A = this chain, B = another copy of it.
Amino acid sequence: MAEARSIPLAASELPTSWYNLQADMPHRPPPPLHPGTQQPLQADDLARIFPMNLIEQEMSTERWIGIPEPVLDKLLLCRPTPLRRALDFERALDCPVKIFYKDESVSPPGSHKFNTAVAQAYYNHAFGIKRLATETGAGQWGCSLAAACNFFGLELKVYMVRTSFEQKPFRKLMMQTWGAKCVSSPSQDTQAGRDINARLPGTPGSLGIAISEAVEDALTHEHTRYALGSVLNHVLLHQTVIGLEAQKQLASVGLYPDVVIGCAGGGSNFAGISFPYVRDRIHGKTVRILAAEPAACPTLTRGPYRYDFGDLSGLTPLLAMHTLGHQFMPPSLHAGGLRYHGMAPLVSQLKRDNLIEAEAIPQLECYAAGILWARTEGFIPAPETTHALAAAIREAKRAKAEGRERTILLCYSGHGLFDLAGYDAYLSGQLTNHELPQDEIAAAIAKCPPAPAL
């Protein structure tokens, strides 16, 4: 008899609270610092950027934070998401492993970003905000926030890094279908954008520039706030529904994972799948937790732990994190969602406390894993997601070498339907791995701001 692959979860089992790891972690991250005074940031310092209800959530140490009804209602459009066993991928690997994947690609915009987008749009709406501004790189975050703002009647302006804007026109059209406005960054709509356009005509843009534009937009428009799709505590919090659901689904078939894997850029999908398991580990359970990052942007594996800015221009508070330096310019990489110089403070702290491991994987190995997945499981993964798949293959091979069975759980963070040009480049041999010299990292770190030691 053909074997079932999907482990469903009834709608009534959708988690009704987010899990806040800050309640359980042995050491909380050092506080973010005001960039001017270098003193711990106060809630009021952020009030022009974020609504107060989200700022309170950012600072909360409550273990469980209830998910508001209107957020649950919209999450139910696609949640609980399927947990699936990757039977054909397993067969192809021929290793003693069971591989389960939590499929976050089934959301309307196609990735896990939808989970926090819905929550952020709701909280801004509840606080009386009428309009949001944000940046987007590859476009997953911009699309997710566009869908969510549309639900709650918020206007949205998205500043999309110019090179992505031109390479991925469908992302802009998707945002527009949901009623959002998306412009190429640097734009002519902000002072920051106009300055850069005058200084560097034809620049491909960067996430740092786009953040500057979005923050300026929020500061200069009435009833407007800024929204961020990763890194911050409240964003990671909203993603914990992923791991909470996966725990119930695996338990329903009597399983517990030996290894939990997520790809890591800013840290949000990794946190989503893993934080509920980190809690278990803190409480004595045996489980390994592995962040897979690109070898070309190896924040957790090669970046020092220190205070640094969250953006290229140095506008944000100083965050305690693993960083390659806020002026580090990662090489062009098809997994655009993983091209971030820093790592969420919560994830960075876990790495310091040896509660998680990290592995850096070269681009070609990731694409090979993505192709194997597409040709066995059928679905085409986002380039970001292929990092988790490649890490799972490494785990499977280790299991075989050791002759020990293993159950692997991974977060399938998004689909790759708008990333097929990357697969084309890979299949036609145009992609290479990027070796990152140590002195390049050292040079970028040297440009970090002076800040208290950690």
Contacts and interface: CB of A to CB of B under 8 A. Distances in A.
Nearest to A114: B378
A417 B11 contact: no
Interface residues of A, number: 47
A59 interface: no
A70 B88 CA distance: 12
A179 B170 CA distance: 24
Interface in A1-55: 1-6, 8, 10-12
A106 to B, nearest CB: 7
Given A371-B177, A417-B418, A423-B173, A2 B76 contact: yes
Contacts of A70: 2
A345 B193 CA distance: 60
A77 interface: yes
Contact of A427 (B11, B107, B176): B176
A78 interface: yes
A60 B424 CA distance: 42
Given A106-B106, A108-B378, A150-B375, A2 B69 contact: yes
Interface string A404-429: 00000000000001101101100100
A330 to B, nearest CB: 24
B3 A76 contact: yes
Contact of A375 (B107, B178, B417, B418): B178
Contact of A424 (B74, B173, B377, B427): B173
A99 to B, nearest CB: 14
A73 interface: yes
Nearest to A74: B378
A171 to B, nearest CB: 9
A9 to B, nearest CB: 9
B147 A378 contact: yes
Given A178-B374, A421-B173, A379 B8 contact: no
Contacts of A10: 4, 8
Residue of A8, A151, A173 with most partner-chain B CB within 10 A = A173
Contacts of A287: none
Interface string A133-151: 0000000000000010011
Contacts of A107: 378
A278 interface: no
Given A170-B420, A177-B427, A417-B417, A4 B12 contact: yes
B2 A380 contact: no
A374 B177 contact: yes
A421 B179 CA distance: 15
A417 B10 CA distance: 27
A73 B108 contact: no
B108 A174 contact: no
A108 B377 CA distance: 8
Interface string A386-415: 000000000000000000000000000000
A378 B77 contact: yes
Contacts of A418: 170, 417
Contacts of A431: none
Contacts of A368: none
A106 B173 CA distance: 21
A303 to B, nearest CB: 33
Interface in A138-172: 147, 150-151, 170
A176 B422 CA distance: 12
Contacts of A2: 69-70, 72-73, 76
Q: Which 5 A-B pairs have the closest CB atoms?
A: A4-B11, A108-B378, A173-B420, A2-B73, A2-B72
12 contacts: A2-B70, A3-B76, A5-B76, A8-B10, A74-B378, A107-B378, A147-B378, A151-B378, A173-B421, A173-B423, A177-B374, A417-B417
Interface of A: 1-6, 8, 10-12, 69-70, 72-74, 76-78, 88, 106-108, 110, 147, 150-151, 170, 173-174, 176-179, 371, 374-375, 377-380, 417-418, 420-421, 423-424, 427
